[in-house]
Structure 1
Amino acid sequence: MRLLPRRLPIVAGLALTALVTTQPGIAQARPPHERPVDVQLLSITDLHGYLRPHDDAANGTVKDAEGRTIVVGGAPYIATHLKRLRAGHKNSITFSTGDNFSGWPTEVAYHADEPTIEFLNRVGVEFSAVGNHELDLSPSFLRDHMGKGRCFGEVDVDSCFTDSTGRRFHGADFPFSSANITAKGSGKPLLAPYVIRWVKPERGPKIPVGFINLTTPTTVGGSTSYQPTLDNLSLVETANRYAAELKRRGVEAIVANVHEGGTAGDVYDRCNANPTGPVFDFARQVTPDIDAIVTGHWHALFNCSVPDPAGDPRPVVEAANHGRLINEINLRIDPATRDVIRSATTSVNHPVTRDVPADPEMVTLVDHWVNRGGQTYARPVGTITGDLTRTRDADGESTLGNFAADAEYADSRRTPGGNADLAMVAVAPVKGSVALRGDLRYAKGTNPADADGTVLFGEAWSAFGYANPVVTVSVTGAAIEQALEQQWQTQANGSVRFAPLAVSGNVRYSYDATRPVGDRVNPADVLIDGRPLETGRTYRLAALAYTLIGDDGYTAFAGFTDAVRGSRDYEAFRAHFAQGPVTPPALDRATALR
């Protein structure tokens, strides 16, 4: 695999960005002997709200070709590096390859991911592909709240928080774009499929550069981004379609900005001999009209050159995640043809080192949101009369598990089209992540805002959930029985592992642990609202998407239908405290017969 030519990063001068966001007509005449137009592309991917510098190996370091560890990342340093990289470039375009938000740092996640938008606005991001996590809440949340600043809930409590400059959140100053996420059955993109930016040569008319933005096809069916009202279209077919459309509009310089990735080694600015993964399959198949491919999603780091179907090399790059790298591609465009001179293209991944001055405005931004995160953590959301804990009895029940199942059931009953007959929560799943993450104690904790019986926002956040939606689906009674049977799993060594499921308070069931695995639950001993389970009947079941699609090891619900998405686990859990003082649920929903 031939590597693209490298060049040293530019590190002096002031930032100059010369982009025109309107779309003037494309003139046909070109001055003779005009010099090529240099265009700098700067991109980040999978930031996930990591504005605060992190010092752990996974989120705050990269390895160079000699295996040395470089400490990287943080909004104050991203901003400084972007300014330095732009210096001296007449035509510089900064963008993101998606998964900007729906991350894990609580100072960002507590505040509807608005801090990330403030940061991206402030550092001059001009557009972003839609990543799968951009759809973790809903299409309207992305379009109307993140895009337009439309508030929901109580201002400065649920959304539209006051930012680090003292202003209220107003949404992104840039568009989100995806060519292959569509309303189900329509084939029409939910958002604009591409973005055109105009660059200025020394003389003559401006030249268009087109960016086709694409989203991983795993989005619609993914556990956090699960969106049953949407479809994914093929990456290759969609890119080819819009590349042809751009060319009909006179755009010859085309970039694919693809939130889908691969792997090509673990050195931040290299490419191994055999890069693999869906984005490399895409790169080998998609039309040669596309001149460069910028990728994300896999949190990988590589700088590759892959021949297109015509045999001409083009860059395929991914700039890691969490603000650790900035990718720079430099295109040279022939003003006569308005197309990229492929042989002159260079690409480099720059580590976001911390040996540069921290941008003071971004330091203020980070400090503001960290401080606000402490305030939000301390906001009371409910009261309890006793402990809600993960401690399980012999039947696998826990007060926290039962409360979470009741919260999912209540959320489904509030959701139009939900109307669950029952709810289930994986208390100790067969595999994967555990939604029950912390206990809620009656006794006050160390936070000054806490009191006996008070549940703080941050405590509730840490007790249950991993940003998964509550989804209500239609399943057969036989599937519910099978799920209850799957609580007992025979291991390779012959032992039996107990992986209990919590059920909502309107369910009671008995089991016989002396019988063989797979035959311990009699449908007649499963009561839903006091009536025995009918294996041939269809029931509406509420559960987290993670469980329904089998990611935590329960396969019983494969083939579910009529999915309706409700709230995320965090919001459903907090909302259930609104019923008033919560008494820990009795542990009487599962009973051993002997």
Structure 2
Amino acid sequence: MDVQLLSITDFHGYIRPHNTTSDGTVKDAQGNSIVVGGAPYIATHLRNLRSGHQNSITFTTGDDFSGWPSEVSFHAEEPTVEFLNGIGVEFTAAGNHEFDLSADFVQNHIGKGHCFGQIDVDSCFTDSTGRRFRGAVYTISSANVTLKGSTKPLLPPYVIKHVKSGGRQIPVGFINLTTPTTVTGTTSYQPALDNLPLVETANKYVAELKRRGVEAIVANVHEGGTAGDIYDRCTNPTGPIFDFARQVSPEIDAIVSGHWHALFNCTVPDPDGNLRPVVEAANHGRLINEINLRIDPRTRDVIRSATTSVNHPVTRDVPPDPAMVKLVDHWVAKGAQTFARPVSTITGDLTRVRDADGESTLGNVIADAQLADSQRTPGGVADLAVVAVAPQKGSTSLRGDLLHAKGANPADSDGIVLYGEARAAFGYANPVLTVSVTGAQLDQALEQQWQIQPNGTVRFGPLAVSGNVRYSYDASRPVGDRVNPADVLIGDQPLDTGRSYRVAGLAYTLTGADGFSAFTGFTDAVRGNRDYEAFREYLVRSATVTPPPLDRATALK
């Protein structure tokens, strides 16, 4: 008997067809680009692929969420859930981005449809069918994400599906796993959670499934690798998913992966030397992977030699599914309405333009917003906040200016900040963390604003600081010795290199990804809101924001 497995991975809310090279094309074996993707076409291809198959199971391999397109990101991931419900997804492996907000968000909002904030403003929006959000009708699963210090999975560790063979039902088990980088990832940073190791956890649940009489077992793993850039080929496979494939129990018959946004269709020997499929279907709905498991009804196990796999491009040469066209149109229109919602007023421009000391009105306001978010976070209460406005590496979180003059949106007027404008000005879905560092680390971080480049020049990558901080520096002194701790005031008290301070900043900065390695080794991390929400809440609570003076950093003459 045959069991068809259909999956997508790393969808990230790309319901709308996109036309960029990275989001809307794949390469064929000849190197030609094929235009692909979009919810209306995914739905049609799935329907066509299922045709003629008695046993077909549809699932995803994680990162359905952290929807980057605004029509999704503005609406608490609900458009993505409506789409996945609509195409018949039966379960998903939780990816790292499923935890970009919180475990509670995944379990209770997405999983159960619980509302938060103001209905139809913050959550529980009306969907394309006229119904209020009701949550996922599929199972969200992860065997290796736990609460800190626990070995009990936070979500169901596996899913068992029963398929028909004549008059009999045969179980197929799916162990779902999440990349171990989740807990300390810069967007999913969750200090209250743990990640258990992939191989040991998978083997544990293989044994449990076997005790329950399951012989056909699939690992659905949100962890990736790379094997070339041709969508249905396998060239020089490398990466953690291939390490996993070579080590994990030979009782697992196929491995479906995600996370790296890669595209490959490989077969890899298990520890006993028997080949099994290891696949990844790119990202953003560009590909659908199809594995056809051939199962012996007598043994209820997979016949590896007769099992096949193929990655299908989601081409746009098929009729778009009408229900999904309606879904996309509904959420795009809703996105435009949400963008135009006023959230605050400003009395002058908040821009990224930096003065000679590296200060900007937007950078200073963002630092104040992060400090305010910390004060509202249980266990937070930072002494100061920092923002990498021009980081030594990576990209800045300050992405756009907020101008006093009205913009092109018909809903805008002088001094009004619209929801979409605030969202576009700051953030890349990073959480605000409050951490403990020593005064010596703080001093070193201020020194790291100046770093010597490979060509011998000195690059200035300033840190914005919250309004309760003032410091002076001497640019004539050597790099690494330009800030005297005695010239740094935090709440009118000189920086004490021997004491501990609570600092609020984005996870990207505090983990050293911005080039400020001084912050690494912090302790006692507490997670606040994401950058978007922290800034918007600051604007809403302030009601009116005046551009702050640029007087927090001063060069010594």
Q: Which residue of 1 aligns with 2:182?
A: 219
Q: 1:315 aligns with which of 255, 271, 277?
A: 277
Does residue 342 in structure 1 map to residue 300 in structure 2?
no
Deviations 1:346-387 (A, max 9, x none): 000000000000001100000000000000000000000000
Q: Which residue of 1 aligns with 2:295?
A: 333
- Displacement of 1:335 in angstroms is 1.1
Q: Which residue of 1 aligns with 2:122?
A: 158
Q: Which residue of 1 aligns with 2:286?
A: 324
Q: Which residue of 1 aligns with 2:137?
A: 173
Q: TM-score scaled by structure 2? A: 0.99
Aligned residue pairs, count: 556
Q: 2:229 aligns with which of 253, 262, 266?
A: 266
Q: Which amino acid aligns with 2:185?
A: G
CA distance, structure 1, for counterparts of residue 359 and residue 406 of structure 2: 25
Q: Which residue of 1 aligns with 2:525?
A: 563
Q: Which amino acid aligns with 2:207?
A: A
Q: Which residue of 1 aligns with 2:196?
A: 233
Q: 2:22 aligns with which of 38, 54, 58?
A: 58
Q: Which residue of 2 aligns with 1:253?
A: 216
Q: C-alpha root-mean-square deviation of aligned residues, in Å?
A: 0.5
Deviations 1:242-266 (A, max 9, x none): 0011001100000000000000000
CA distance, structure 2, for counterparts of residue 410 and residue 260 of structure 1: 36
Q: Which residue of 2 aligns with 1:286?
A: 248
Q: 2:407 aligns with which of 429, 445, 449?
A: 445
Q: 2:428 aligns with which of 454, 466, 487?
A: 466
- Displacement of 1:552 in angstroms is 1.0
- Displacement of 1:333 in angstroms is 0.9
Matches for 1:294-309 after TM superposition, within 5 Å: 294-309=256-271
CA distance, structure 1, for counterparts of residue 526 and residue 101 of structure 2: 13
Q: Which residue of 2 aligns with 1:504?
A: 466
Matches for 1:83-482 after TM superposition, within 5 Å: 83-203=47-167, 205-272=168-235, 274-482=236-444
Deviations 1:143-188 (A, max 9, x none): 0001111000000000000000000001000110000111110111
Q: Which amino acid aligns with 1:186?
A: S
Does the residue aligned with 1:217 lie in a helix, a strand or coil? coil
Gaps of 5+ in 2: none
Q: Which residue of 1 aligns with 2:447?
A: 485
CA distance, structure 2, for counterparts of residue 61 and residue 256 of structure 1: 27
CA distance, structure 2, for counterparts of residue 302 and residue 151 of structure 1: 39
CA distance, structure 1, for counterparts of residue 326 and residue 214 of structure 2: 41
CA distance, structure 2, for counterparts of residue 554 and residue 148 of structure 1: 40
Q: Which amino acid aligns with 2:464?
A: A
- Displacement of 1:103 in angstroms is 2.3
Q: Which residue of 2 aligns with 1:579?
A: 542
Tell me which stretches of 4 or more aligned residues in structure 1 moved more than 6 Å: none
Deviations 1:502-542 (A, max 9, x none): 00000000000000000000111100000001001000000
CA distance, structure 1, for counterparts of residue 221 and residue 121 of structure 2: 34
Deviations 1:178-228 (A, max 9, x none): 00111110111110100000001013x301000000001111010000000
Deviations 1:72-92 (A, max 9, x none): 000000000000000111100
CA distance, structure 2, for counterparts of residue 314 and residue 493 of structure 1: 49
- Displacement of 1:45 in angstroms is 0.1
Deviations 1:9-49 (A, max 9, x none): xxxxxxxxxxxxxxxxxxxxxxxxxxxx2100000000000
CA distance, structure 1, for counterparts of residue 54 and residue 466 of structure 2: 61
Deviations 1:296-326 (A, max 9, x none): 0000000000010001000000000000000
CA distance, structure 1, for counterparts of residue 139 and residue 470 of structure 2: 50
Q: Which amino acid aligns with 1:94?
A: T
CA distance, structure 2, for counterparts of residue 492 and residue 270 of structure 1: 39
Does the residue aligned with 1:347 lie in a helix, a strand or coil? strand
Q: Which amino acid aligns with 1:494?
A: G
Q: TM-score scaled by structure 1? A: 0.93
Q: Which amino acid aligns with 2:186?
A: S
Q: Which residue of 2 aligns with 1:45?
A: 9
Percent identical among aligned pairs is 77
- Displacement of 1:67 in angstroms is 1.1
- Displacement of 1:580 in angstroms is 2.1
Q: Which amino acid aligns with 1:98?
A: G
CA distance, structure 2, for counterparts of residue 265 and residue 490 of structure 1: 36
Q: Which amino acid aligns with 1:376?
A: T
